[in-house]
Every structure is written in C-alpha cells, then in structure tokens.
C-alpha cells in the first residue's frame, strides 16, 4: 500500500479525485471549494474583536471547515513529502529541461530548480522583495477576482458562474506572461 501511495498517480485518477471534491462539499455541507478565504478566517481568529470591520465576523461558522481543509492540505503535503516521498527523481521532459537551462537553471531536485528554491536565494534582498511583492500581488489579485484559482476553476467553472470564466482566462494569461516574460526577467 505504501508503494502505491508514494508513486505519482496518473492524471485520470488524481484529476477526478480533485474534481469530486466540489460536488462532495456541495452535497455534504453546501460549501464552496476555495482556499484564499482562509487568510481572512485566520486573521479573524487571531484578532476577533480588534482590527478592521472586515475581520469581525463569526469565522467558526463561516470558515472553520475551510481552515481545517487548508490545514489538511498542509499536513497532507508534509506527510507526502516525508513519509511517502518517492526516492526516484521526478521525470521532467527533455524539452522542459532544455528551456530551463537556456534560462540559466541547471540544478533540479524535484520539480523546482534549486537555484531559485533555497534559503540563501529566499533570504537575499531580491528573494525577499520577490516573495513579499508576489504575495501582495497574489493577495490583491485574489481579492479583486473574488476568489483564487481553485475556487474559480473548480467551483466556479463547474457551477458555470459567469465571473469565473473571465477570471480563469486572466489566470491563464497571467501564467503565460509570468512564464515567458517575468521569469526570464527575474532570472536575468
């Protein structure tokens, strides 16, 4: 069983399992799947009577289950990264490796280049600026779009909500711009 859990699952198994979360949440508790609202719930839990009016609400009733879901995602990631870690290197296509090497990335340990994802790169002035700036942009974009990629892509598109369609288009355009324009600038 451990060997089965430690191997990558094919898309036709993992995809439907993720997709089934949406109807399961709707049927079991009339809840919408999404992660970005957890920051608001966490702030409301830490500062229940102080701060902005935006954070003064009953977070246990509205977001307790969502915080538990987010903690489960983090815990599952930690479990998968430690106890269920696959010792085999992650298979990355030769074309992807060649593209990343042209950008100056050569040391791959898993799915991320070690030149970008290490403590010295993170704690540099540039790394902290990218982390804080990126976090601000993600937070602003999530609030402006009325939800995150998981909320819009899984719940909104599945429910055919009109705001989710342009939001998803914007996420894809942003990803393309980030990959082909911003990443080369960051790595330069």
**Chain Cα centroid distance, residue 108:** 21
Q: What are phi and psi of 108, to 5 degrees?
A: -105, 120
Tokens linked to 172: 């894809």
30-64 per-position pLDDT tens digit: 887 778 888 888 888 887 666 688 788 888 887 88
Q: Is 108 helix (H, G, I), strand (E, B) or coil?
A: strand
What value does the CA radius of gyration of the chain take, rounded to a whole number of Å?
A: 19
Q: Are 37 and 18 in contact (CB under 8 A)?
A: no
pLDDT in tens, 109-153: 666 677 777 888 888 998 899 889 988 888 888 888 888 887 888
* CA dihedral (13, 15, 19, 24) positive or negative: positive
């Amino acid at each position: 069983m451990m060997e089965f859990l430690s191997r990558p699952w094919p898309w036709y198994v993992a995809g439907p399992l993720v997709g089934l979360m949406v109807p399961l949440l709707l049927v079991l508790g009339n809840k919408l799947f999404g992660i970005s609202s957890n920051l608001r719930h966490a702030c409301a839990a830490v500062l229940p009577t102080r701060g902005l009016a935006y954070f003064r609400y009953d977070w246990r009733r509205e977001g307790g289950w969502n915080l538990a879901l987010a903690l489960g995602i983090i815990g599952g990631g930690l479990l998968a990264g430690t106890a269920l870690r696959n010792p085999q290197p992650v298979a990355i296509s030769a074309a992807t490796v060649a593209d990343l090497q042209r950008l100056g990335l050569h040391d791959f340990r898993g799915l991320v280049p070690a030149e970008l994802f290490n403590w010295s790169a993170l704690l540099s002035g540039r790394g902290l600026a990218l982390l804080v700036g990126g976090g601000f942009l993600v937070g602003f974009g999530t609030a402006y779009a009325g939800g995150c990629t998981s909320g819009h892509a899984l719940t909104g598109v599945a429910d055919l909500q009109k705001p989710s369609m342009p939001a998803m288009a914007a996420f894809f355009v942003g990803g393309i711009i980030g990959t082909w324009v911003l990443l080369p600038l960051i790595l330069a």
